[in-house]
Amino acid sequence: MSSPPGPALAPESLAARLLDAQVAHHLDQLSGDDLEETVGSLADRLLLAAGQHQLADLVDESAISAIVVRALATVPGSAAVGGFVELAVTTAYDGPADARPLGELVEREQVEVLVDRVLALSPVLERALERLTDSPLVGTMASRFMGRIVGEVVQANQAVADKVPGLGSLMSLGTSAASKMMGAADKQLEGLLGDTVGKGGTFAVRRLNRILVETVRDPMTREALLQVWDLAAAEPAGGLDRRITREELDGVVDAVHDLAVTALASEQVAHLGESVVAGFFERFGGYTPTELLDELDLDRDDLVADLVRIAPTAVAALRESGDLERILRARLEPFYTSPEATALLGGAVSR
């Protein structure tokens, strides 16, 4: 003999019980062995569905541009980036725990190719150095530099001449006489030098530029650079603590960071970011996400496996804190408390 049916539930009470049941169902799907299957299945289906559409149809270019511009203006100066910079500085300063020679990290053949490519840019270097002739201060600096070189040569010759009887005193006499003549003519030449210092500076810069460019083109330069690499490659890749103090390193890094923060927040860089996004969509907008992953040599199955590997720890932490249940309930409750759901449940109860 069957028991009589219980009293009918009010639509609101039935909705609350259905909400509890659905929340419990999703929590079960996101726990234990079911979690890996749920995450893997969801990720696989999302990638499969997205793979049927082009990127230009899935993502709005203007929205991405706005995100990039905002990120350039705010992210570099954020506390998180500051922390990353500090971590990078500490790592570079302390060095790896197990220091290995640089030669084990980089192949010498790759260094040779890099050196050849850089030295082949001598025409670019020559054009860049030529522009320095427009700066009067650079001209003055070049003149002083070449003057110091000449002075060193004179001193070296004097030292050699001193070893030859009679030659040292003769050379000193000539140098002293030349100095007195220049001193007596100093006032008369002052105006002339003031008029010609610009031309003299330009000549000094061009002469120094020619020396630099010819040095770069000299075949011996390539051998010298590779010899320097061979010496460095044999040493363990340790930290910077043997070459610079932490305060000095912090000062340089902070200056570079501040420069980057200011530059990246400028309007010009914002326009550059927009141009990069536009170029990306022009180049890859017609690709599907799956095709883009292939271009990046990323396997879709590997990405799904990575998500499955990452998800359990994050989901377990959210569930243990109760946040996961609160999130699910907050997303589902508006439906069960809506007038439409209450009306449907009320009709089912009345029947």
Please give the span between the terminal C-alpha atoms of the chain, in angstroms, as a whole number.
23
Side chain identity at 6, as an amino acid letter? G
This prediction has a pTM of 0.72
Query: Residue 167, class by beta-carbon neighbours within 10 Å (0-12 exposed, 13-18 middle, 19+ buried)?
Result: middle
* Regions in the chain scoring below 70 on pLDDT: 1-9, 150, 153-154, 156-201, 347-351
pLDDT of residue 102: 82
What is the spatial distance between Cα 17 and Cα 28, in angstroms, rounded to a whole number?
A: 17
Map out the domains of the chain as residue ranges. Answer: 9-53+288-351, 102-237
Report the DSSP beta bridge partners of residue 101. 236
% helix / strand / coil in the chain, to the nearest 5?
80, 0, 20
- Give the Cα-Cα-Cα angle 279, 285, 287 (nearest 5 degrees): 130
pLDDT (0 to 100) of residue 185: 43
What is d(CA 313, CA 165) in angstroms, rounded to the nearest whole number?
A: 87
Tokens 């007195």, residue?
A: 180
**Is residue 332 within 8 Å of residue 19, measured between CB atoms?**
yes
Per-residue pLDDT, 187: 43
For 236, which DSSP code?
B
Q: What is the pLDDT of residues 265-302, one digit of tens each?
A: 999 999 999 999 999 999 999 999 989 999 999 988 89
Measure CA 86 to chain center. Answer: 14
